[in-house]
Structure 1
Amino acid sequence: MSKFVVLVCATVIWCAARTTSETASVTYTYNSSDLSYLSNGIQFPVAESEVQPLLGADIRQNITEMQWFSGLYDHFKWWTHLNGLDSKRCRGDIMTYLRELSNATSWATKMYDASGRYTGQFFFGNDYWLGSKTLCKELTNIETNKEVPPFEVYFYVAKIRININNQATPVTRQLNLGECLPRSCGVAGVRMLLAQERNQGASVNIVGVREVPGKYSLLSDLKVHILGGTVLITVAIIVVASLTEIIIKKRHRLVEHKDAEVENNNQNQNNNNNNVDDNKYVKRSTEMVLKEENNKTNKTRNGIFLRLLLSFSAVSNGKKIISVDRVSMESIKCIHGLRFFSIGWIILVHSYLELFAIADNKNLRILTERGFMYQTISNATFSVDTFFFISGLLVTLLYFRTESKKQLPKKPKNTCEDIQANTLKFLFMLLYRVFRLTPAYLFVLGANEIVLRYIHNHSVFSPAIIDHVNCDKFWWRNALYINNFYPRDEFCMLWSWYMANDTQFYILASILLLIAVRGPKHVKFAAVSIGVLMLASWIVSFIIAMKWDYIARVEEPFALFDQLYDKPWLRIGPYLIGIMAGYMLFRIDCKISMSPIVVTAGWVASLACLASLVYGLGREGLAVPGSAFYAALGHTAWGLSLAWITIACCTGHGGVINAFLSCKLFLPLSRLTYCAYLVHPVLMCATSFVLDGSLHLHNAMAIVIFSGNVVLSFLCAFAISLAFEAPVVNLLKIVFA
């Protein structure tokens, strides 16, 4: 068994070393919190071959650089741009537009008004000169406009890299420009029009121009038909199952009502007639016995099919999800509150990232990051550690409780039979988990790919999320739960790294549990293995952090993502702590007596540890050695603090905190956290990048958007759970029984 420990630890170190060596050629540097990072860091990467510079400066112009910049891409100056157009039709339509614009014709002024231009706050982060795609489309509506353009108009979005001078723009900024122009010009014509602009700055380059919306059609996408067909079939089965359950329950009520009436009539007859023939009782008893036998035969014949069908019933599944009474006395009630607040914390930080991506006043992000409470957002990575801890705790506690209830006599087995039995058991455990989690996971993965493909085709923004490309290529990595071992730029569903880690930890925990349940000596071996794994995790994380000069600070919550953030050797600490806490709760049967001094000291230490981990970085962050220790030990320290909270709450030492976390209202929300985690980023993309223009960043706006994201995420999670999670759980119970 000692060889097993050495093998596991060697594997962990080898994987970490392999990742380090693969990325050693890349020099790690922090992105500074300047406007170039805030604008360019969220944009879709563009090939340099697409870059086209503007024309040189016009020496006849005697204006300052700011005067030139404020009048950049002004349509009134485009008469000199016509000679560069190759298309005669485009040139004619532009001439018509410019002539009518000079005459202040209604449709021409609306075209001009729907196009983007400088409106201020560029030096405070406003990179969106988007105009309005909606208004550009609306001006051709003959029902609402007396005058419409004599040609078809379309909306175009151009990405432009601009550098005015070293003082105004120390680094190059990326500008998003919306233009409402004739459809006849197309992408090439619009690019040529923009390139004819005179450049009086340090550099102005057109990175790309695209039509909005593009040529992508949902109806022509095969994956839309596959996903839509799956949804329709699932909904049809759910409807049939729900109607079947309603009919069956209605029949049962009628039968019970008739039986009650018959019993009452018989009782009344017995009370009125004391000379009842005993043969009637015998006859009635015989009929009841025959009826029960017929019912058993019918249940045996139709039971399996009916149970499989009723597994999809929204009536019973919905009641199970929203029920607040289905709590066993042995359950760990406080984890429901921990789950809900953890997923709320995750949605909060993602809501801020959503706002940062589409805000016009990105400079306010820098001011927001200076606030002390913003560390709640930047250090939200610990919220995921809470889920790792809970997973390790529940897997261990439930497994030992299940095994302890088995009263089967132990039969002597040889080594070969023992290995076969444990291997089969391990496969059953793994298959149960995979089949339980994967259907909802793959459904959201497919929906996410379609949503991102639609967004990149219809949105005026250019999000750096390229799941419509990566998911098409690398979805199998997600299905195999190994996507966290690949670079971030190849990720499909960036947030799915959690599912990969959790599944890998579950595999490791299953092996340790199968060993530990065999006896006291094997428990000691499992404990030693956990200790060695935790020590290896600390050492590997520390070495990688030191190698890359990692600095933990508020502005860079996702620093060293490929090297540290999503890797199992950094994240396994809370899971291992959860395993130990689960075993401890099993051994003490959730009962332990502690003195008030111990209880007080435990609560003070745990809460102080949690607070220091979240709010201990300060304005400047930690130095290199301190950051390495923070990265290596911080997640494990978080798990230790949660272990105390859980054990104290379960053993009657939680007080008000236990009463709050164990509130029954958290129970249905806790059941939906998995689906809410899966779907909430998809909803954020779908609701933010479809906007017609940018938002204005403010903390009050962030709270409003966060509240809406929470409600919408849990509503969609309820629907996904009804369709793909609860039915699968019911089917697995039937199959694995």
Structure 2
Amino acid sequence: MALGCVVFLLLVACSVALESTQTQTVSQRCVEDTNMFLWEIKQDKPKEYAVLMYDAFGKMGSNVEGGNANRPGLLQQCRSAHGPSFSGQYCQVFLKQGTVQYFVGICVPDSCEEEDVQILVLYDKLQFGETSLVPPLPHILANQSAQEMIMTHCLSSAVSPDVSDVTCLFVCCVMVAIPLATTLFTALMRRQPNREVSPTVESSRLNSGLNLYGTVQTNGSSSCEVNSNTSEENNLTRPPRLCFPRSCVYGCLQAFSLQTTSQHLSTISTSSSIPGGRYSSLNGIRVLSLLWIICGHSAQFPVFNNLDNYKNWKQTVESSPLYVLTISGPVFLAVDTFLLLGGLLSARSLLDSIDKAENKLSPSLVANYLFKRIKRIQPLHLFIMCLTIGLISMVHWGPYWFPFIDTLMDCKTYWWANLLLISNLLPVHEICIPWTWYLSLDFQCYATTPLLVYFYRLNRGVFAVVAGGLLLMTTVVSAVITALLQLPVFQPSTMTSENYVLYYYVKPYTRYGPFLIGILTGIYLTTKKDQLFKQKWQAALGWFCCLSVMAGLVGVAYILRETPTHPSIPHALYQGLHRPLWALAVAWVILACEEGYAGFIKRLLSLSFWVPLSNISFACYLTHPIFIIVYIGLQETPIHYTDINFMYLFLGHLVLTLVVSYVLTVLVEKPYILLKWSSS
């Protein structure tokens, strides 16, 4: 009853304010429709639309102290209200009260523009006594009672894609339509009775009968090349030449057809392993690292603004190192594992290509080596970028969409940085599809491999000086930046530090260490003549050091979990050393698996179960944030943190990611990897 009186006084105040001098500023229709709504809600039996609009207003809930300060209201209910001459429009008012920032969802007539809504809220906050349209948090829950408006935003109920959105969706449709059409065409060709090669024999040739360079021969003439391995080691040494048109077209059709890409995905090992079991442990390491990243993102993204108990979550995470599996501690050391694998495979690939080129490291070989990498990552990368841009304009987002919209919409301004693979060099708030910063970093590191291999072949002493200097440089730079900017080293503290991402997390000069260690590991494994250790006690000591380093990195992160208030030597040393040390520990696991020191760990990481998952890991990395963001963006109410809730979110995102990633791998990623000009 008391609440009803408060609301009645509030609405009377609104009516009085609207008829005041502010009427000259607010649009006439907005005034008329708002007055009609206010008049209706004051009746003994108000109409349904007025009740729905009032009920859709955001109201303060419990656990504000635990982080439940936002009042989202009910977006869909607001939009479902239809008055005599207007409909409900959902708007968000972003406010600051002391150190607390929050938003309140309000329902106003759709004849009111954002400027009108802002005036209605700002006009003495439409106060009547101590009541206002957007009541402040009680003084007991905030350190002051005065509110400051940050902005007002109204969510449109209409979908209005522009030219760029339509273009991006069209590109996505074309990229999907091409393999589907070639699949149908290839199936029809295989059914022709006059074919000289049966489908079974032809499929066998595609998957296992390729020559050293992956060239497919059909009907005795040269054809387009279909690469049977996703590694970077094939066909880097021969100049391309044009092939007979009919045969070339047929080879291209084979590369884009699902008959080829799906068989390749399920039967051929990934780039991390080759026949004979060499480097097979990398499959398991890659997949486990990917699961760690997906788990971390599943926890991280809702935490930004979508939890009603953020402070409870933070206290829980900081209470136990066991939460390293979600977002506590150095969870994104998994990214450094991927950098290590990238360095290892790039060095191995280039060295193998040099051997095939009669031990010559020529400029054309380097150019082809880099081009293969671009062709490996860019088709799916650009597809995801276009898909995300189009998705933004086609989905009716909820009240929790606002943290992502500005960042993702930067694609329309800074798409060229993704195309050139330099997006991580931009300010982080300008990166198109933020999680793709890794692709730019990976390629920039990848481009240094030929130079290091050149020094290795030129003079081992010079190579040691260059590699040692680079490792020392990235370590010192990371430590100095951490000290000068007083950066935290522990999740979730790093989430609230803008400088952490802006100046440290995505930059090549702070993240190069693990990739460099990967290059050194790849060179050693490719060129070694004998085992590193001869006795079991040496291997046991290596495992002890490896596991101790991994556990120590997590434990020290908890000790240093507080953000420093002054330049901190422990924080600086940890930041400079922990990523290279983690890479060294993972490198030991790989070395132990290759040299027979790993036992059941080798068998676990080399299970055939990991192979298909490893094949789709690149697509999984690019697609899983889309599912997380879409889920959050469609929510009308906040998510409540519990371990079981987050576990189900992770499993749900994971299942959707695996299914869609398989489809995108065979439709978009694999065809461009398999398709090559003939070099025979």
Alignment TM-score, normalising by the size of structure 1: 0.75
**1:730 equivalent in structure 2:** 674
Partner of residue 593 from structure 2, selected from 641, 644, 649: 649
SS across alignment from 2:573: helix
CA offset digits 1:360-399 (Å, max 9, x no partner): 2222223223221234413112110001100111111232
Supply the AA of the counterpart residue of 2:95: R
SS across alignment from 2:111: helix
**1:237 equivalent in structure 2:** 178
Question: In the alignment, does 2:66 pair up with 1:124?
Answer: yes
Q: Which is richer in helix?
A: 1
Residue 330 (structure 1) shift? 5.1
SS across alignment from 2:402: coil
**1:425 equivalent in structure 2:** 365
| Aligned residue runs from structure 1 range 84-233, under 5 A | 84-85=17-18, 86=23, 87-101=27-41, 102-107=43-48, 108-140=50-82, 149-163=83-97, 171-195=98-122, 196-198=125-127, 202-213=145-156, 217-218=160-161, 221-233=162-174
**1:335 equivalent in structure 2:** 282
Partner of residue 660 from structure 1, selected from 604, 614, 626: 604
Q: 1:679 to 1:301 in 2, by over 3 A?
A: closer
Partner of residue 653 from structure 2, selected from 689, 709, 721: 709
| Aligned residue runs from structure 1 range 39-58, under 5 A | none
Partner of residue 400 from structure 1, selected from 351, 354, 363: 351
Distance in 1, matches of 2:407 and 2:115, equals 27
**2:624 equivalent in structure 1:** 680
Question: In the alignment, does 2:311 pair up with 1:374?
Answer: no
Q: 1:576 to 1:75 in 2, by over 3 A?
A: farther
SS across alignment from 2:639: coil
Distance in 2, matches of 1:423 and 1:362, equals 54
| Aligned residue runs from structure 1 range 552-701, under 5 A | 552-558=489-495, 559=497, 560-588=500-528, 594-618=534-558, 620-621=560-561, 624-701=568-645
| Greater Cα offset, 612-621 or 309-318 | 612-621
Distance in 2, matches of 1:450 and 1:670, equals 28
1:355 and 1:697 in contact (8 A); partners too: no
Partner of residue 486 from structure 2, selected from 542, 549, 554: 549
SS across alignment from 1:123: coil
CA offset digits 1:539-559 (Å, max 9, x no partner): 222222222233433432354
Q: 1:586 to 1:239 in 2, by over 3 A?
A: same
Residue 250 (structure 1) shift? 4.0
SS across alignment from 1:296: coil
Residue 255 (structure 1) shift? 6.6
Distance in 2, matches of 1:72 and 1:126, equals 26
| Greater Cα offset, 700-709 or 182-191 | 182-191
Residue 442 (structure 1) shift? 1.6
**2:247 equivalent in structure 1:** 303
Q: 1:516 to 1:253 in 2, by over 3 A?
A: farther
Distance in 1, matches of 2:362 and 2:638, equals 57
1:74 and 1:117 in contact (8 A); partners too: no
Supply the AA of the counterpart residue of 1:345: W
Distance in 1, matches of 2:456 and 2:5, equals 71
Supply the AA of the counterpart residue of 1:722: V
Q: 1:543 to 1:698 in 2, by over 3 A?
A: same
Q: 1:507 to 1:248 in 2, by over 3 A?
A: same
1:158 and 1:207 in contact (8 A); partners too: no
SS across alignment from 2:494: coil
2:331 and 2:491 in contact (8 A); partners too: no
Residue 530 (structure 1) shift? 1.1
1:153 and 1:182 in contact (8 A); partners too: yes
Equivalent pairs counted in the alignment come to 606
Distance in 2, matches of 1:499 and 1:236, equals 26
CA offset digits 1:499-547 (Å, max 9, x no partner): 1221111111122224434xxx534433332112112222222222222
Distance in 2, matches of 1:664 and 1:81, equals 68
Supply the AA of the counterpart residue of 1:84: A
Residue 443 (structure 1) shift? 1.8
| Greater Cα offset, 198-207 or 601-610 | 198-207
1:573 and 1:635 in contact (8 A); partners too: yes
Alignment TM-score, normalising by the size of structure 2: 0.81
Question: In the alignment, does 2:662 pair up with 1:718?
Answer: yes
Residue 254 (structure 1) shift? 8.4
TM-align CA RMSD: 3.2
CA offset digits 1:288-327 (Å, max 9, x no partner): xxxxx99436976621111012211112102222336675
Q: 1:294 to 1:462 in 2, by over 3 A?
A: closer
**2:337 equivalent in structure 1:** 386
Larger Rg: 1
Distance in 2, matches of 1:222 and 1:590, equals 61
SS across alignment from 1:694: coil
Q: 1:647 to 1:250 in 2, by over 3 A?
A: farther
* Stretches of 4+ aligned residues off by more than 6 angstroms: 70-73, 252-260
| Aligned residue runs from structure 1 range 2-13, under 5 A | none
Residue 704 (structure 1) shift? 0.8
SS across alignment from 1:158: strand
Residue 423 (structure 1) shift? 2.1
Supply the AA of the counterpart residue of 2:92: A
Partner of residue 363 from structure 1, selected from 301, 307, 311: 311
CA offset digits 1:222-276 (Å, max 9, x no partner): 223222222332333212221233234445898789999xxxxxxxxxxxxxxxx
**1:64 equivalent in structure 2:** none
Supply the AA of the counterpart residue of 1:659: R
Distance in 2, matches of 1:488 and 1:259, equals 51
| Aligned residue runs from structure 1 range 9-88, under 5 A | 74=7, 77-85=10-18, 86=23, 87-88=27-28
Distance in 1, matches of 2:222 and 2:577, equals 60
1:672 and 1:721 in contact (8 A); partners too: yes
Q: 1:253 to 1:348 in 2, by over 3 A?
A: farther
1:448 and 1:467 in contact (8 A); partners too: no
SS across alignment from 2:493: coil
User: Gaps spanning 5+ residues in structure 1: where?
Assistant: 1-66, 141-148, 164-170, 261-292, 411-417
Q: 1:695 to 1:183 in 2, by over 3 A?
A: same
Supply the AA of the counterpart residue of 2:247: G
SS across alignment from 1:371: coil
1:337 and 1:666 in contact (8 A); partners too: yes
Distance in 2, matches of 1:321 and 1:473, equals 36
Supply the AA of the counterpart residue of 1:691: Q
1:355 and 1:702 in contact (8 A); partners too: no
Distance in 2, matches of 1:589 and 1:443, equals 43
CA offset digits 1:126-167 (Å, max 9, x no partner): 233222121223344xxxxxxxx323222222223243xxxx
Determine what percentage of the aligned residue pairs are the same residue: 24
CA offset digits 1:650-704 (Å, max 9, x no partner): 1222111111111111111112222222222222212211222222222211111
Distance in 1, matches of 2:364 and 2:597, equals 40
SS across alignment from 1:124: coil
Q: 1:620 to 1:653 in 2, by over 3 A?
A: closer
Residue 634 (structure 1) shift? 0.9
Distance in 2, matches of 1:637 and 1:298, equals 49
SS across alignment from 2:150: strand
Supply the AA of the counterpart residue of 1:543: V
